[in-house]
Amino acid sequence: MEKELEIELRDITKVFGSVIAVNNANIKIKFGEFFSLLGPSGCGKTTTLRMIAGLEKPSKGRIFLFGKDVTDTPAFLREVNTVFQDYAIFPHMNVYENIYFPLKMRKIPKELAHPRIMNILNLVNMERFEERYSNQLSGGQRQRIALARALVNEPRALLLDEPLGALDFKLRIAMQNVLKDIQRRLSIAFVYVTHDQTEAITMSDRIAVMKDGIIHQIGTPEDIYNNPKTAFVASFIGEMNFLQGKVGNISSNNVEVSVSNHKILCKKIDSKIDRSEDVLVCVRPEKIHINPSNKMPNLIKSKINRVVFRGDDYEITTSFNDSSIRLVVGYTSWDKANKVGTEITIGWEDHDSIIYPLHMKDDIIKYA
């Protein structure tokens, strides 16, 4: 095992009856890394986390923590702690007693534990709250106490199962910053389960994107966003246009695809795409320019069908022949003279078009 790895999953499969919850997962998590397991509900991310924690045993494969095979090691002997979404704070104990509890279970006297408790309270910015009970705390404060209790044992890695899911939007954003700051200060691995793509992208060093128990891609947020390996990843991470077409000319630099009688140039890809093959052409809405002043490889005359104001930008839906495409225009860049029914020219670079085999169409995540 590589020395810099904190956690490694080798060929991990977990089966519940006839359901394969996790299918042959291979994950390597580095020392001090913020690593997220991302995917829709039921994709296997929480089951993966529970196997790392020792709360579930894999049906096949091996788990290594800090260079040791812990596949058969019980949870209480693993040097990891878990933070859950429901906090699990004891209501009959105050903040100080909640944080002391795991140390008490290890028979550490309170006088020896006190400096560690106060240090953890300071770390999560909850000093002076020692005497309060859970019903006297906000959701964000309860989450900080749950985090402090998990960290007071000084684990070598922290596992977090959708810990911010119960918080409102603004508080969730604030807690994302708190978690990332704490992780940087402690320099330990955080393994974070979430279904929120924005949360994963903004917090993570690397992300594993999962669907139906299968890991589709592992990479940095930038790599996954800009170079999604499958149509599922492309649809789940950010917004994406999907256009169906047929491959025409293939050159050393790009691929030409016919979409609704328009030729669209796409970047050359590693996987084999054959001439006359039916494919999906994908382009991010923010990559598309409206009435571009400079010459672009892809220029299409299109009619505006819908304009939606979203605060700091506009989402524009346009159509050409039997295809539709969405683009995003910044608030200050949008020309309000462009109304529904107006004909415009949309354009984008060939390297901003991605091609996938048509059979991946069924994996696309669709939102109403």
Domain ranges of the chain: 5-234, 235-363
CA dist 310 → 235, 283, 307, 313 (Å):
20, 20, 10, 5
Same topology, domains 5-234 and 235-363? Answer is no
Which region holds residue 97: left if phi is over 0, alpha if psi is between -120 and 50, else beta?
Answer: alpha
CA-wise closest residue to 363 among 49, 46, 43, 48: 43
Q: Which distant-in-sequence residues (6+ apart) come within 8 Å of 261 by Cβ?
A: 321
Class of domain 235-363: mainly beta
> Residue type at 357?
P
pLDDT given at position 174: 85
pLDDT given at position 269: 66
pLDDT given at position 166: 72
pLDDT single digits (tens) 92-145: 999 999 999 999 999 999 999 999 999 999 988 888 899 999 899 988 888 889
pLDDT given at position 263: 94
pLDDT given at position 246: 95
Measure the CA–CA gap between 205 and 36, rounded to whole angstroms.
Answer: 8
Class of domain 5-234: alpha beta
Segments in the chain below pLDDT 70: 1-3, 87, 268-271, 367-368
Q: Are strands 34-38 and 206-211 parallel, antiparallel or unpaired?
A: parallel
Per the CB < 8 A criterion, the answer to whether 346 and 318 are in contact is yes
Q: Is the dihedral of CA 67, 68, 70, 73 positive or negative?
A: negative
Global model pTM greater than 0.95 = no
Measure the CA–CA gap between 258 and 305, rounded to whole angstroms.
Answer: 22
Which letter does DSSP use for residue 237 in this model?
Answer: S
pLDDT given at position 368: 42
Per the CB < 8 A criterion, the answer to whether 327 and 316 are in contact is yes
